[in-house]
C-alpha cells in the first residue's frame, strides 16, 4: 500500500477529481505515515512547496477516519496576513469533505466570531496572541470549545523559535492541552531553519510522543 492509499478514500477522491491533482509531491507522500501515526513533526520545504497540504491532508484524513467532532484542529500562524491568505484554501479543502474551517483574529467581524462560538468549526485558523485572548475571555467557554482538540499545526515556525513569542506559544499550547485533557499532536512548518532537530524537541515541549524532522530530498 502506498502512502497516498493510507489517506481516507473521500480525501483521495477529491485530491484527484476535485482538485485535479494527478499525484502528491514525493515529500508530501513521505510525511503521510508519521502524521497519520500521531507523531510530532517538523516539515521543512521551500516556500510555495506544498507544506500546508503536506500537513493538512493527513490531519483531515485522521479527522474523517477517526470521526473527530467539534473543534479538533488549530492552525496557527505568526501574522494575520498569512492566515488571510490560507483561509479560502483550507476552507475549500474542508468543505469538499463535509467539514468546516474558520478564521479568528482581531480583524474578523464580531458576528463571525460569535458564530464560531455557537457552531465550532473543525479547524480554526488563528494567531497565538488571538488564541490567548480567547482563553482569557469571559465570553468564551474555553473548556468546552477546546475539549475535542487533537492537532496543532504551527506555520512559519521559525518566526517563533528563539524569542519571547516562541515561549509564549509553548505556554499557550500547554494551556489548551490541559483543557483538551490529552497530548496534542504538534506539527511545525517552515521553509528553512538551521537546527531542525532542536526545533522539533522544542515544539514537542512536554509531550511524550515520538518526534522527528522531515526534509524533502
pTM of the model: 0.93
Least confident piece of the model among 86-90, 122-126, 178-182, 193-197:
193-197
Quick one: pLDDT at residue 187?
94
Cβ 12 vs Cβ 4: under 8 Å: yes
What grid cell was written down for 65?
Answer: 477516519
Strand residues in the chain grouped as ranges (E): 40-44, 73-76, 101-103, 123-126, 151-154, 185-190, 211-214
Domains of the chain: 4-214 (3.40.50.300)
Q: Please name the residues in contact with 103: beta carbons below 8 A apart, sequence gap of 6 or more.
A: 83, 84, 87, 112, 124, 125, 126
**Confidence band, pLDDT 50/70/90 cuts, at residue 200:** confident
Quick one: pLDDT at residue 147?
95
pLDDT digits (tens, 9 = 90+) for 42-97: 888 777 778 999 999 999 999 999 999 999 999 999 989 999 999 999 999 999 99
**Confidence band, pLDDT 50/70/90 cuts, at residue 215:** low
Report percent pLDDT > 70 for the chain.
Answer: 93
Amino acid at each position: 500500500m502506498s502512502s497516498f492509499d493510507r489517506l481516507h478514500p473521500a480525501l483521495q477522491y477529491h485530491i484527484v477529481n476535485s482538485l485535479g491533482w494527478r499525484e502528491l509531491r514525493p515529500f508530501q507522500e513521505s510525511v503521510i505515515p508519521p502524521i497519520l501515526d500521531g507523531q510530532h513533526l517538523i516539515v521543512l520545504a521551500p516556500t510555495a512547496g506544498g507544506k500546508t497540504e503536506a500537513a493538512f491532508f493527513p490531519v483531515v484524513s485522521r479527522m474523517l477516519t477517526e470521526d473527530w467532532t467539534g473543534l479538533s484542529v488549530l492552525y496557527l500562524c505568526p501574522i494575520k496576513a498569512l492566515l488571510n491568505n490560507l483561509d479560502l484554501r483550507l476552507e475549500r479543502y474542508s468543505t469538499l469533505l463535509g467539514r468546516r474551517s474558520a478564521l479568528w483574529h482581531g480583524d474578523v467581524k464580531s458576528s463571525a466570531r460569535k458564530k464560531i462560538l455557537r457552531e465550532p468549526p473543525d479547524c480554526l485558523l488563528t494567531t497565538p496572541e488571538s488564541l490567548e485572548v480567547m482563553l482569557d475571555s469571559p465570553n468564551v467557554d474555553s473548556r468546552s470549545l477546546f475539549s475535542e482538540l487533537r492537532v496543532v499545526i504551527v506555520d512559519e515556525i521559525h518566526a517563533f523559535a528563539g524569542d519571547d513569542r516562541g515561549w509564549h506559544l509553548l505556554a499557550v499550547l500547554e494551556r489548551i492541552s490541559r483543557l483538551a485533557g490529552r497530548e496534542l499532536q504538534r506539527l511545525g512548518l517552515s521553509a528553512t531553519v538551521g537546527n531542525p532537530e532542536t526545533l522539533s524537541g522544542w515544539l514537542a515541549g512536554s509531550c511524550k510522543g515520538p518526534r522527528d524532522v522531515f526534509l524533502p530530498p
